[in-house]
Amino acid sequence: MKGELAMKVLAIETSCDETCAAITEGTNILSNVVWSQIDLHAEFGGVVPSIAKRAHEEKIDWVINRSIDNAKLTMDNVNAIAVTAGPGLAIALEVGIHKAKELAVKLNKPLIAVNHIEGHVLSSLVHQIDISFPAMALVVSGGHTELILIEAIGQYKIMARTIDDALGEALDKAARMLGLGYPGGAELEKAARMGNPQAYPLPLPMLGRENQNEFSYSGLKTAFWRLVNQFPVNQLTSQQIADLAACFQDRAFTHLTRVLKKTIYNLEPRTQNLLVGGGVAANSELRKRLSDLDKRINFPTKGLYGDNAAMVGIAAGFKADRGEFVKDINLIDRLPRWRIDQKIDW
């Protein structure tokens, strides 16, 4: 990226249940503000789109102003506005897009539309420049489980993806079956630390079919449901919860790394780096298992695993270098199912 010539980007992210704004300059983060809506959705056990939309509308100006203040800038110092245009919840994405358009017109600044998954893919690039391309990227979040070949920044091929649930979604559901909190991934990790992953027989997903370039978690979820239901309702001891959590997490991660190894090692040309992103990568057991792979692994820094706008700003910086600005502001619209390998000419 063009070092000190890099643009100062105001990035906005509202694709799910976090209202976020950040200021970035190249891969440097000048500020990164995240307003989490978790408490609003917790009682429903999942994200409620209409509640997310309303909360984004209420908080968006606050996170933007805070990101400008934290970066010790004024709106006039910003060179471009970036926004997540997809994938994500349509009515949540709309809030960020509407605000970004409004600011781009008012301040007469160029607009950059960013793919949320590209943000996660590039989230580990902060201060890390020793990456050789082609490289691989693994995105593991509540909505996505994708292994992506980065031919160059901006050029992506999806090498493997989930055919049903995302890894984070599966962990959340397993945690719920055990009566743990929401979102469950982090709670399941905590419980699993005290557990024995071999305590119960729980089959590995797609055993022997790891070369199909697919992840699958719904079968594991069903098997886990059957296992949990063998115990009397609401009478699990804390050791049983720990053992069950450890078993689920172990099979979920073993499946992930088995598919990963098959896909990566079958690949020509060989890649050296694996860039990891997404909320589930906050899990230390998963990070340990990934670190055992014969790869240079790039993890995001704390605060950049889950959804945030800094990763959107970083991706936007690369797009700005390539001149990929929105040509007609009236064309930009939310793309709830935007794939990272789909080029959109706005």
Using CB under 6 A as the criterion, which residues of the chain lie in contact with ligand KG4 when the complex forms? Answer: 16, 141-143, 168, 171-172, 183-186, 189, 278-280, 282-283, 306-307
DSSP structure string for 8-20: EEEEEE-SSSEEE
Which one among 307, 313, 318, 320 touches Zn ion, defined by CB under 5 A? Answer: 307
321-336 in b/e form (b: 16+ CB < 10 A) is: beebbbeeeeebebbe
Please say whether the beta carbons of 24 and 45 come within 8 A.
Answer: no
Report the DSSP pairing between strands 28-36 and 18-25: antiparallel
Q: Which CB, 168 or 205, lies closer to ligand KG4? A: 168
Q: How do the residues of the chain divide into helix, strand and coil, expressed in percent and rounded to 5?
A: 40, 20, 40
Please say whether the beta carbons of 304 and 128 come within 8 A.
Answer: no
Which partner from the list ligand KG4, Zn ion, none does 313 bind, CB cut-off 5 to 8 Å by kind?
none
Cα–Cα distance list, 155 to 7, 133, 173, 210, 230 (Å): 21, 11, 33, 25, 48
User: Which residue in the block uniquely carries the two structure tokens 């070949």?
Assistant: 149
SS (H, E, C) 254-288: HHHHHHHHHHHHCCCCCCCEEEEECHHHHCHHHHH
Report the DSSP pairing between strands 273-277 and 296-298: parallel
Which partner from the list Zn ion, ligand KG4, none does 135 bind, CB cut-off 5 to 8 Å by kind?
none
Q: Which CB, 94 or 172, lies closer to ligand KG4? A: 172
Q: What's the token pair of residue 123?
A: 């989230």
CB of 141 to ligand KG4, least distance (A): 3
Binding mask 84-123 for Zn ion (x = CB under 5 A): ----------------------------------------
Q: Which CB, 104 or 147, lies closer to ligand KG4? A: 147
Which partner from the list ligand KG4, Zn ion, none does 172 bind, CB cut-off 5 to 8 Å by kind?
ligand KG4
Which one among 123, 141, 263, 271 touches Zn ion, defined by CB under 5 A? Answer: 141
Q: Which CB, 34 or 78, lies closer to Zn ion? A: 34
Please say whether the beta carbons of 21 and 83 come within 8 A.
Answer: no
User: Which residue in the block uniquely carries the two structure tokens 């649930």?
Assistant: 165
Interface segment toward Zn ion; rule CB under 5 A; list 37-45, 48-56, 138-146, 327-335? 138-146
CB of 230 to ligand KG4, least distance (A): 25
Interface segment toward Zn ion; rule CB under 5 A; list 102-110, 211-219, 220-228, 302-310? 302-310
Which partner from the list ligand KG4, Zn ion, none does 87 bind, CB cut-off 5 to 8 Å by kind?
none
Which partner from the list ligand KG4, Zn ion, none does 244 bind, CB cut-off 5 to 8 Å by kind?
none
Q: What's the token pair of residue 211?
A: 């070369």
Which partner from the list Zn ion, ligand KG4, none does 195 bind, CB cut-off 5 to 8 Å by kind?
none
Interface segment toward Zn ion; rule CB under 5 A; list 31-39, 71-79, 259-267, 300-308? 300-308
Q: Is 308 in the site for Zn ion (CB under 5 A)?
A: no
181-209 in b/e form (b: 16+ CB < 10 A) is: ebbbbbbbbebbeebebeebebebbbeee
Q: Which CB, 36 or 196, lies closer to Zn ion? A: 36
Tell which positions 181-240 bind Zn ion, by CB under 5 A: none
Which partner from the list ligand KG4, Zn ion, none does 185 bind, CB cut-off 5 to 8 Å by kind?
ligand KG4
CB of 192 to ligand KG4, least distance (A): 9
Identify the DSSP state of 327: S
Q: Which CB, 27 or 123, lies closer to Zn ion? A: 123
Binding residues for Zn ion, rule: CB under 5 A, are 141, 307
